[in-house]
Amino acid sequence: MKAMVDAEGRLALPQEIQEAAGLQPGMALEAHWRDGRIEIEVAPLPVTLVRRGHFLVAVPDVPTEPLTAATVEATLKAGRKPTCVTW
């Protein structure tokens, strides 16, 4: 799939890639040049660890949208590896 760089130096990613990666308008990304390749990844969310009772909780340093049950479920599903057991 091709991506284009415009006259302003902005990289336009195909919609299919944006959707597959879960990219949203305004989302911060990091770009790196490694071994002759451009690598783009979602920038980590800056957090502060706060003690709440016996637990350390990561609290975002910037305002964020609350997580929905659908977002959590989709994230869990994407992170699971399919397993197959044969007997």
CB of 68 within 8 A of CB of 80? Answer: no
pLDDT computed for residue 71 by the predictor? 85
Tell me if 11 is assigned to some domain.
yes
- Answer whether residue 86 is part of any domain: no
Residue type, 28: A
Q: pLDDT value at position 1? A: 85
Overall number of domains in the chain: 1
In a domain, 28, yes or no: yes
Q: Indicate whether 44 belongs to any domain.
A: yes
Report in angstroms the alpha-carbon separations of 33 from 37, 38, 40, 41, 56: 6, 5, 9, 12, 35
pLDDT, tens digit, for every residue of 37-52? 999 999 999 999 999 9
What is the pTM (predicted TM-score) of this model?
Answer: 0.59
* Domain span holding position 44: 4-79
Does residue 52 form part of some domain? yes
Q: How far apart are the first and last CA of the chain?
A: 40
Is the residue at 31 inside a domain?
yes
Asked if the model's pLDDT at residue 9 lies above 70, the reply is: yes
Question: Residue 61 domain-assigned?
Answer: yes
Q: Are 31 and 40 in contact (CB under 8 A)?
A: yes
Q: What is the mean pLDDT of the chain?
A: 90
CA-based nearest residue to 38, from 19, 13, 63: 13
Does residue 85 have a pLDDT over 80? no
Residue 60 pLDDT more than 80? yes
